[in-house]
């Protein structure tokens, strides 16, 4: 049996097996869910385990099974890319973030603004917010990383060690940041409701999250697309499904845009190259640090830039407000 025939046979068998006992959707507990794809950790190789992604036909979301929300220490290794100090080459991303922050801050009235960053780590993004506007007078970080707490506090940010659902305060925030967060939580609806309750009447929420309806997501659907970020992304949306969930949580869409994620292309290609025996990637040498990664990322950045005016790109940016 040739390789393609074996893949097709295994995929068909997996579909039949998984559809017979489909898990419930994490958004509403829907039972109308079907197997979508199998995937492995092709970035950090935290295990050889196969994970399955299911699609809820009603909520139009993807979710991972099993969802290891209680084993974060295993699935986030010490060399995880956001834990490693930034090196040269991050300036374009910083400028892009600064532009977004300036734009959203300009829409918020008030002489003194309070800003909350969920999953803010050591407070780097909050530093950017403060540099963007002298009106920012209070900054709060909520994160699970105990090691980042001292750094954030030293930078002048209040810090809550724990989940946003457990964060209790009388303060209300003019801007809430959830950048690359909502896909990492097991109950996105609860997180959005928690955010809505912490928001001032004129406040804004800035959210960035992957789009499973992008071209690279379709091409690498059965090749461990890096947008799955297996097993660290728990729930994935497209524009329509996230809009619906935000509105159900009491939040309205103020603005929306697609944005480029060339690393999704480059890391997905590296995963395919490893599968073909062309490159070596392992837990000791993750894909994020492979020397081909920045070269491929630059190439795909140009490709994504050319598609920007008309394509559904790999990342989505939502600005939300209370309804």
Task: Give the model confidence (pLDDT) of 223-257 as tens digits.
Answer: 999 999 999 999 999 999 999 999 999 999 999 99
Q: CB–CB of 89/294 below 8 Å? A: yes
Residues 122 and 246 in one domain: yes
In a domain, 85, yes or no: no
Q: Are 53 and 228 in contact (CB under 8 A)?
A: yes
The structure tokens listed for 292 are 């081909």
**pLDDT score at 222:** 97
Residues 102 and 71 in one domain: no
Q: Say if residue 10 is in the same domain as residue 38.
A: yes
Residues 8-57 pLDDT 10s: 433 433 333 454 578 999 999 999 999 999 999 999 999 999 999 999 99
Number of domains present in the structure of the chain: 2
List of residues 6+ apart from 104 with CB closer than 8 A: 175, 204, 206, 319
The pLDDT of residue 22: 85
Q: State the CATH number of the domain containing residue 279.
A: 3.40.50.150
Upper half-sphere CA count for residue 218 (Cβ side, 13 Å): 6
Domain boundary (48, 75, 102) is at: 75
Strand, coil or helix: 67: coil
Query: How would DSSP label each residue in 259-290?
Result: E--HHHHHHHHHHHHHHTTSS---SSS-GGG-
pLDDT confidence of residue 21: 73
pLDDT by residue (tens digit) across 187-196?
A: 999 999 999 9
Quote the pTM value.
Answer: 0.90
Following DSSP, what letter does each residue of 12-31 receive, concatenated?
A: HHHHHHHHTTPPPPTTT--S
Residues spanned by the domain of 51:
3-75
- Taking 70 as the threshold, does the pLDDT of residue 89 lie above it? no
In the predicted structure, residue 5 carries a pLDDT above the cut 60: no
């Amino acid at each position: 049996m040739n390789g393609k025939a074996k893949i097709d046979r295994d995929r068909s068998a997996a579909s039949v097996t998984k559809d017979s006992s489909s898990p419930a959707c994490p958004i509403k507990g829907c039972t109308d869910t079907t197997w979508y794809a199998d995937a492995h950790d092709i970035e950090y190789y935290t295990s050889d385990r196969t994970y399955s992604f299911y699609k809820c036909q009603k909520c139009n979301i993807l979710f991972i099974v099993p969802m290891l929300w209680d084993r974060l220490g295993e699935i986030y290794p010490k060399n995880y890319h956001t834990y490693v100090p930034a090196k040269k080459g991050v300036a374009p991303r910083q400028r892009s973030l600064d532009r977004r922050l300036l734009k959203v801050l300009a829409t918020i009235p008030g002489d003194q603004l309070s800003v909350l960053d969920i999953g803010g780590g050591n407070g780097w993004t909050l530093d950017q917010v403060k540099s963007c506007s002298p009106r920012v007078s209070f900054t709060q970080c909520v994160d699970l990383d105990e090691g980042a707490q001292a750094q954030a506090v030293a930078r002048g940010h209040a810090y809550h060690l724990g989940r946003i659902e457990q964060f209790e305060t009388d303060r209300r925030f003019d801007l809430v940041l959830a950048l690359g967060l909502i896909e990492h939580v097991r109950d996105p609806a609860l997180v959005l409701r928690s955010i809505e309750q912490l928001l001032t009447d004129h406040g804004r929420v800035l959210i960035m999250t992957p789009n499973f309806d992008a071209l690279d997501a379709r091409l690498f659907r059965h090749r461990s697309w890096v947008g799955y970020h297996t097993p660290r992304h728990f729930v994935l949306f497209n524009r329509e499904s996230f809009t619906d969930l935000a509105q159900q949580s009491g939040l309205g869409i103020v603005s929306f845009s697609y944005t480029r994620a060339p690393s999704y292309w480059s890391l997905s290609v590296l995963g395919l190259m490893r599968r073909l025996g062309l490159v070596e990637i392992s837990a000791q040498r993750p894909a994020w640090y492979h020397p081909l990664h920045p070269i491929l990322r630059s190439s795909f950045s140009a490709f994504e830039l050319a598609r920007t005016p008309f394509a559904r790109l790999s990342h989505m940016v939502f600005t939300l407000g209370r309804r």
